[in-house]
Amino acid sequence: MYAFTFENPSSTAAAAQLIAQGGKLLAGGQSLLPSMRLRLANPEKIVDLNNIPELAGIRREGNALVIGAMTRHMDVANSADVKAAIPALADLAAHIGDRQVRARGTLGGSVANNDPAACYPSAVLGLGATVITNQREIAADDFFVGMYTTALEEGEIITAIRFPIPKRAAYLKFKQAASRFSLVGVFVAQTDAGVRVAITGAASSVFRHAGLEAALNQSFTPASAAAVKIDASDLNADIHASAAYRANLISVQTQRAVAQILG
Amino acid sequence: MGASDFSKLPHIGESLKRKEDYRFLTGAGQYTDDVVLAAQSHAVFVRSPHAHAKINSINVEAAKAAPGVLGVFTGADVAADNINGLPCGWLITSTDGQPMKEPPHPILAQGKVRYVGDHVAIVVALTQQQARDAAELVEVDYDVLPAVVSVADAAAGTVAGAGLHDAAPDNHCYKWAIGDKGAVEAAFANAAHVTKLDLVNNRLIPNAMEPRAAIGSYSRANDEYTLYVSNQNPHVERLLMTAFVMGLPEHKVRVIAPDVGGGFGSKIFLYAEDVCLTWAAKKLNRNIKWVADRSESFVSDAHGRDHVSHAEMAMDKDGKFLAMRVHTDANMGAYLSTFASAVPTILYATLLAGQYTTPQIYVEVDAWFTNTAPVDAYRGAGRPEATYLLERLVSRCGWEMGLGQDEIRKRNFITSWPYQTPVALQYDVGDYHACMTQAQELADVAGFAARKAASEAKGLKRGIGYSSYIEACGIAPSNIAGALGARAGLFECGEVRVHPTGSVTVFTGSHSHGQGHETTFAQVVAARLGIPVENVDIVHGDTGRVPFGMGTYGSRSISVGGAAIMKALDKIEAKAKKIAAHLMEASDADIDFSGGEFTVRGTDKKIPFGQVALTAYVPHNYPLDKLEPGLNETAFYDPTNFTFPAGTYICEVEVDPATGSTRVDKFTAVDDFGTIINPMIVEGQVHGGLVQGIGQALMENCVYDRETGQLLTGSFMDYAMPRADDFPEFKLGHVCTPCTHNPLGTKGCGEAGAIGSPPAVINAVLDALRPLGVKEFDMPASPHRVWEAIQSAKA
């Protein structure tokens, strides 16, 4: 780790001022701190979000759940509101990393980082959520731009995410055995606006699968999902899985998610 | 005392709680990094980022000028001080009579680097942060050369410019063979059926919980060095470092291996870092600590396995084995590590008879240098490679002959002992049918068909796999090892020091790095002397306190180190009886000793052990004219044969053909370890071995990039270390045929699980997938690889 200065603001506005001066935000630190320890990241100034009370918390707003950016995975997993309204989201949070990661990691940190194999982005995209920042609101469909890249501008801080409550949803993660990140994670939701299928782990960034959504809008059955040919050409290939295998997992996991939703 | 009397002593075979666990579980262990010396400075190694490169120049000026830096040294400094390279401890002679190629293994690179992680410079500073900062300022100008990482590419010789060493321009280290080739060929010519198999034993990274660590220390007052190091055999470390590398007198160097958090073989070896720290400690007159971070461990610890083999078994029409032939290409890595050359030869080919009566066996091994970390002994060291090959081949023989995996084994089991194999070893004792029978009962083989049907109903494939392993442990008779090329003896030393108050300190050359010696060895001594186990302490891991030792590896500690303690106890008992006879005014020959009391046969006279101990040190009423005072005895024990633990393992897997996910549903291990002293500790050793072996079979795989030689599995994000929830409950059973040639009857249990389990898992995977047409499969059975095998069979 290289030396850095540490700022500890108590409001989002103060944090925004500090990052405008070149600071780097620290949320749960589950990606940033290991990178710093390995000397792969070298921020000169850390702006800690952990003492800004307004950024954490879960509340019901009409037909939506609004979850503060600094809410820990553990708190989402254990929330009675989340379990009642979007059990798939609570289940997703309950299986991120290990107990230590869930105690520190945050929703906003995960979504802002947009790791191609992270779980949360698939829920944000799969549920058609809205990312709320200190400057504006961004629809999920416009938020995830590419590998580790989002629509966030310099100085913009995620304050909360608004999740519309779906009719039914399920998240199935097929784990990469070493990291236990998703090799392929599939978030399937039946929403008022139709079926949404968001895939994480398979490509450079989370994405919606139009073919699966169309088929499932027509007929919400495993067989309908199975009939969709998954194009492997834009999928990741690495030592853990070929693109063809990831395509297979997208198909199989979607079928199983649908079966789970149908009970 | 002999094995039969020993096994009947009270508390032998009882699961005493481990004495060391209070310290470990409450954070009071003293690992190398917990040792803090006065004015301790810190070292960081500059390592090669390239797999193969020529070093044009190294500029250390900026690093030397950085804050807190005490010194920066490179290969030029090593050469100027005449420090030799690291030696290889085992000479293998090629089939053409030439010695193996032994290119220099410098402690800091001499003009060339040969793997990612190769050591280029050492930077010493007041703090670790300062050393890290300065290390980044060392400028090395490299010309990158072509790299070769696999034995296939090395053997093919198709990568131009990838010759690592001038001494071995074709990267070939040796060609070695054992067995009667002519007799094997004759047997194959007359065979009713020949089963053939190609297979890969995947490369592994050891990953002990405690990374390697060392502190170099030097005293100007008496010109003495002390090296604290996380190591499995401190005396061997000292011998290699003083006599072969640094040219120092042994008595001026003390090596201390305090609590060591796992080794699995990877801490047997003398590493460049250990020598650099010792050498630099004198140059700078500072205590210098280095603790590897996990990333460094991945690239610089000696790796394991990495064999590519072809095997054939000739059978008669009834499936009786007539002959076997094997060719193996073994990856040595970039340099010969301490015991690297022995692993794919002496420790491998000699085990290929397994539990079977195969009359003729011929094995040929080619060893190759590649641009990868050195490969050396790793839990089992050659024996897992032999077992994996043989047990895969035998199961395939069974399938091809229509006999089933159990029947093919039973038809070929050795049934009388001693048994001379065609590959040098002589097994003293065993009962292979008994292990098979018990394993089949514990595994509920009878219920397999019903479980398979239940899996099928869920769309899953279920398979059962067998493995009947044997290993040669208790390494080793020194004369035999010497004749086979060992450059060291393989005895062990034990000293038993009885204190005046009757408590005992034992000094052993064995080294515990997780095996629980402090409990098991104390149990042996307490049982022999009839004193509470709390009154016995075990000291190990310090050349300044223990007379000598060869250390812990090859499941040798109880059978060799324990036997040395038994011999020392024999001497203690003999002397104590003389003292007791004097005190009770009886003849030496009339004294019996049991339960901690000396008695005079045929009388009611008795005195306790403690009184004899006190008399030995307060010899007022003592036969000083014929007996020295004191009660302190040392013994060296050199085994007359290897020990041969053996067993049968049965694995059941359930495979999801849609995803390739493979789950071990049941695993049964029946072992014959001879006498068992502490069943709980033995069970722990078996569990640990099983998870390492099943880990290799299902998950672990070290991958280097074929073109660049970069390590692609350089962290736990990409190298799949198994976790507890990857395994079912294990079912364990034991058969006991005591070893015939050591005083305890023990055989060793540390490696069996890792040796026996991989073929059981893969045979189960193949059994599950055979209906889908899958015939070939190499480890690991990761979902992706299993799924691809199913797709290939479909195509």
Check B787 against A248: CB less than 8 A apart: yes
CA distance to partner chain B, nearest, from residue A110 (Å): 17
Q: Kindly list the averaged pLDDT for each block of 10 residues, start to end, along chain B of length 795.
A: 93 96 96 96 98 98 98 98 96 97 98 98 98 98 98 93 95 98 98 98 97 98 98 97 96 97 97 98 98 97 98 98 98 98 97 98 98 98 98 98 98 98 96 98 98 98 98 92 90 98 97 96 97 97 97 95 98 98 97 97 96 98 96 98 98 98 98 98 98 98 98 97 96 98 97 98 98 96 98 93
Q: In terms of residues, how long is chain A? A: 263
Fold of A168-262: Enolase-like; domain 1 (3.30.390)
Instruction: Say if residues A109 and A30 touch (Cβ distance below 8 Å).
Output: yes
Please report the pLDDT score of residue B243 as a whole number.
94
Identify the architecture of domain B32-145+211-260+267-300 in CATH. Answer: Alpha-Beta Complex (3.90)
Please report the pLDDT score of residue B439 as a whole number.
98
Domain(s) of CATH 3.30.365.10: residues in chain B: 3-29+491-637, 307-476+641-794
**pLDDT tens column, A126-141:** 999 999 999 999 999 9
**pLDDT tens column, A222-250:** 999 999 999 999 999 999 999 999 999 99
Please report the pLDDT score of residue B795 as a whole number.
86
Residue B116 Cα to chain centre, angstroms: 24
Class of domain B307-476+641-794: alpha beta
Chain B touched by A38 (CB under 8 Å): yes
Please report the pLDDT score of residue B651 as a whole number.
98
| Residue B347, CA distances (Å) to B310, B350, B351, B619 in order | 18, 6, 7, 51
Instruction: Say if residues B110 and B120 touch (Cβ distance below 8 Å).
Output: no
Check A177 against B699: CB less than 8 A apart: yes
Which chain A residue lies closest to B713 (C-alpha atoms)?
A239
CA distance to partner chain A, nearest, from residue B726 (Å): 10
Domain(s) of CATH 3.90.1170.50: residues in chain B: 32-145+211-260+267-300
Check B659 against A38: CB less than 8 A apart: no
Please report the pLDDT score of residue B59 as a whole number.
98
Check A179 against B717: CB less than 8 A apart: yes
Check A174 against B720: CB less than 8 A apart: no
Paired with B288 in beta bridges are: B41, B216
- Closest to B718 (Cβ–Cβ): which among A38, A239, A245? A239
pTM score, two decimals?
0.97
CA distance to partner chain A, nearest, from residue B286 (Å): 25
Residue A50, Cβ density class (10 Å: 0-12 exposed, 13-18 middle, ≥19 buried): middle
Check B784 against A39: CB less than 8 A apart: no
Please report the pLDDT score of residue B414 as a whole number.
98
Please report the pLDDT score of residue B633 as a whole number.
98
CA distance to partner chain A, nearest, from residue B712 (Å): 8
Fold of A1-48: 3.30.43
Contacts of residue A240 in chain B, CB cutoff 8 Å?
718, 782, 784
Q: Is B572 left (phi over 0), alpha (psi -120 to 50) or beta?
A: alpha
CA distance to partner chain B, nearest, from residue A143 (Å): 27
Paired with B143 in beta bridges are: B54
Domain ranges of chain A: 1-48, 168-262
The span from the CA of B670 to the CA of B689, in Å, is 13
Contacts of residue A181 in chain B, CB cutoff 8 Å?
717
Check A178 against B718: CB less than 8 A apart: yes
Chain B touched by A111 (CB under 8 Å): no
Class of domain B3-29+491-637: alpha beta
Average pLDDT, chain A: 97
The span from the CA of A18 to the CA of B1, in Å, is 78
Check A245 against B787: CB less than 8 A apart: yes
Instruction: Say if residues B113 and B50 touch (Cβ distance below 8 Å).
Output: yes
Check B659 against A39: CB less than 8 A apart: no
| Residue B379, CA distances (Å) to B94, B373, B473, B686 in order | 26, 17, 12, 12
Instruction: Say if residues B516 and B18 touch (Cβ distance below 8 Å).
Output: yes
Instruction: Say if residues B132 and B399 touch (Cβ distance below 8 Å).
Output: no
